[in-house]
Chain A
Amino acid sequence: MSKELIRLKDCVMAYDDGVVLDHINLYINDKEFLTLLGPSGCGKTTTLRIIGGFLTPTSGDVLFDGVRINHVPPHKREVNTVFQKYALFPHLNVYENVAFGLRLGKTVTNVVNGKSSAKKVKIPEAEIHKRVMEMLEIVNLKGFEKRSISALSGGQQQRVAIARALVNQPKVLLLDEPLGALDMRLRKDMQNELKRIQQEMGITFIYVTHDQEEALAMSDTVVVMDGGRIQQIGTPEDIYNEPKNAFVADFIGESNIIDGIMRADEVVEIFNRKFRCLDKGFDKDEPVDVVIRPEDVDIVAENQGQLKGTVTSVTFKGVHYDTIVDFYGFKWLIQTTEYHPVGTVIGIHLDPDCIHVMKKSEYSGMFGDYSSYSEEYEEIGDADYEPEEEENGHEE
């Protein structure tokens, strides 16, 4: 069974101009692939830098294997980082970049008369060579040893950065938006490759991204963050199927988020109509947010539907049509393989298991209406929509 490796206890990171992390509690298991997911400025990079040792939390504790490491400097942590812009050493070639950590020697702890002392021991050149070559093979860069860093493509630099970190056999690898600078195709390939490397080497990966698709595709556990707080922790399936609040529902995939009222256990009222659902445990007549995923809505004939609406826009997406339907002034996104021209009045049918009820939160009413559909699609669909991390301002 996997055991707990890292724990953040009540971590707060505050600067003069505001709180970046607001009481973060998080544990990470050994050999887990955990993703910190959230929009720019949500605190995900700050969390990663606290684990890496580049920042010390204002309050709270960082535990590694049960030992408090708040003030342990980065070079003494069994953690290595793949930086956002790779941060390869331009004065060294591929081989020397990868060998950098090994050349610094390994730490050997001696226990003499009950006192333990750590010292660095040089690794023999033959072993360095063997490990560097092995690692270059794992990242598919054999034959590139002598190349200068500036002669590599983005994808190749990315691989060198991963090899340079992994060759030290860290317990944990931290990855800060490592695929952000790559094009779509390469990003997909690297996703598979990272997952493969993680499983082959059995190392804990902590991965930071703002790309929800990437997070869902790669992770064992996803941590959704916003405004310096953790919004939800769960498996990719949990996060998608059972979002905790409107923010998570909106950030992960497409969602119609509608105001509803819980009339009884397993009965929710939307647009003055009662629907059967699977959620219970709410107060009677409690106002709630209702999430309906666009692909879960069945379009039926006008007179057979539970609700009736008018199609206001249709966009062909290849596999399906994105159809925007107006229900009493609130616009839904429905993804369907059938074509319904603009102006058609249609009915919809909702199965109980496609209605997900959430408690009201500070995010209620902010998302879920597709009236301004086109702009919102840009924002969600384009991973490069946010070019710079706002958090960087605090790191100088």
Chain B
Amino acid sequence: MKNKRSLLAIPYVGWMAFFVVAPIIMVVIYAFTTADFSFTGENFTRMGTFTVIFTRSFKLAIIATLVCLLIGYPLSYAMAKEGKGFQRVAMLLIMLPMWVNFLLRTYSMMSIMENNGLINQFFAAIGLFDLINNVFGTDIHYFKMIGTQGAVVVGMVYNYLPFMVLPIYSTLIKMDNTLLEAAQDLGADTATVFRKVILPLSLPGILSGVTMVFVPSVSTFAISRLLGGGIQMLLGDLIEQQFLGGAYNPHLGSAIALVMMVIVVACMWIMNRFGEGEEQAVML
């Protein structure tokens, strides 16, 4: 009873206990048991079968994260440096899609990228396919996008880009301008100022952006279902199948979920170790 204010956290602690801690314990129990709840390690020995899906999931999530970083960092930088007007418009454009339902957004992406979707219709209208067919002697009438890994990555980037931009933007906007002047003063040109001051000081923002894009990307199932055309199966789809689909086996599903969680936590831990020295930068 030293600090009465900690009582305020009781609703949250209760919530977490029921909806986070208890489910995790159940996942662990399920993962190590058979249908009649006797102990087994068999669920994990079967994991090798899904290597392709594991690899694909992590590969696509890493690509999507990198693309988000490559688009998001320059955008955040421009927003932090430009005037209030640009900031407001850019922020609105980033937030606007988030006010639309996630599934709706992804369905619309689907209809845009379909074989007779908006993009292909546009290419047809400007005569791109005719041109290609004439030059190469081929007979194509559309680019196949749905069902490719590219489409899945595009879906991930589209959905999760704001989670990259916001944390990076907030570290950049808080950065003390005199630090940049000090670096210039000591002899650093613009590129060196960026490399030796701006980049290291924005690392905490990059790390949290990467986490916030990577984790949902690696576990998504709706994006791969809709944009991957059911061909590009990811871990999320695999797990969903074990619980809701035809392959009903919640014990195996739990084991897959557990392995994925361990890998993700390990990734995050390594990354945060990497950025540890920078943490005080955020606090200042």
Contacts and interface: CB of A to CB of B under 8 A. Distances in A.
B65 to A, nearest CB: 23
Given A89-B197, A90-B284, A100 B185 contact: no
A75 to B, nearest CB: 5
Nearest to A77: B185
A150 B185 contact: no
B192 A90 contact: no
A352 B163 CA distance: 77
Interface string A39-54: 0000000000000111
Interface string B237-248: 000000000000
A219 interface: no
Contacts of B278: 91
A104 interface: yes
Contacts of B280: 90-91, 148, 150
Interface stretch (B31-39, B131-139, B140-148, B174-182): B174-182
A91 B179 CA distance: 11
B202 to A, nearest CB: 10
Contacts of B200: 91
A10 to B, nearest CB: 25
A104 B181 contact: no
A74 interface: yes
A101 B181 contact: no
Nearest to B192: A104
A87 B283 contact: no
Size class of the A contact interface (CB-based, 8 Å) = 20 to 34
A276 interface: no
A83 interface: yes
B186 A73 contact: no
Interface in B262-284: 277-278, 280-281, 283-284
Nearest to A164: B186
B187 A101 contact: yes
Contacts, number: 72
A148 B277 CA distance: 10
B185 A74 contact: yes
A75 B187 contact: yes
Contact of B182 (A81, A107, A149, A396): A81
B87 interface: no
B42 interface: no
Interface residues of B, number: 24
A85 interface: yes
Contacts of B179: 87, 89-90
Contacts of B284: 90, 149-150
Given A101-B186, A164-B186, A74 B201 contact: no
Nearest to A49: B181
A282 B189 CA distance: 55
A148 B276 CA distance: 13
B259 to A, nearest CB: 36
Contacts of A107: 187
B188 interface: yes
Given A90-B280, A90-B281, A150-B284, A100 B181 contact: no
Contacts of B197: 89
Given A90-B201, A91-B200, A148-B280, A168 B186 contact: yes
- Most A CB contacts (10 A, CB to CB) among B182, B278, B280, B284 go to B182
Listed from nearest, the 7 A-B pairs whose CB atoms lie closest are A101-B186, A87-B182, A87-B178, A74-B184, A90-B284, A104-B187, A81-B185
Given A91-B277, A150-B280, 5 more contacts: A81-B182, A89-B197, A91-B201, A104-B187, A150-B284
20 contacts: A75-B186, A75-B188, A75-B189, A81-B181, A81-B185, A84-B178, A85-B178, A87-B176, A89-B182, A90-B281, A90-B284, A91-B278, A91-B281, A100-B186, A100-B196, A107-B187, A148-B280, A164-B186, A168-B186, A396-B177
Interface of A: 52-54, 73-75, 79-81, 83-85, 87-91, 100-101, 104-105, 107, 148-150, 164-165, 168, 396
